[in-house]
């Protein structure tokens, strides 16, 4: 369904989103309440983005 370059872009985006989610999970553990709160808020949105990218990967994955 996707050409090789688009597949590579999608995989890179998914991997980056995963790393971002992990970083935001750590930020959510910050001692500073405001910083932790912002991290948790952003984490929700980043997790949604990661899930969308993973769904696209599954739908377009052909063997």
- Condensed to tens digits (0 to 9), the pLDDT of residues 17-60 reads 999 999 999 999 999 999 999 999 999 999 999 999 999 999 99
For residue 31, the model assigns a pLDDT of: 98
| Model pLDDT, residue 62 | 62
Which pLDDT belongs to residue 1?
Answer: 78
Instruction: Give the burial string for 3-32 (b: 16+ CB within 10 Å, else e).
Output: eeeeeeebeebbeebeebbeebeebbeeee
28 DSSP assignment: T
User: What pLDDT sits at residue 44?
Assistant: 98
């Amino acid at each position: 369904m996707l050409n090789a370059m688009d597949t590579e872009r999608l995989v890179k985006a998914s991997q980056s989103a995963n790393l971002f989610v992990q970083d935001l999970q750590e930020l959510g553990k910050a001692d500073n309440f405001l910083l932790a709160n912002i991290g948790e808020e952003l984490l929700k949105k980043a997790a949604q983005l990661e899930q969308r990218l993973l769904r696209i990967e599954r739908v377009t994955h052909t063997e």
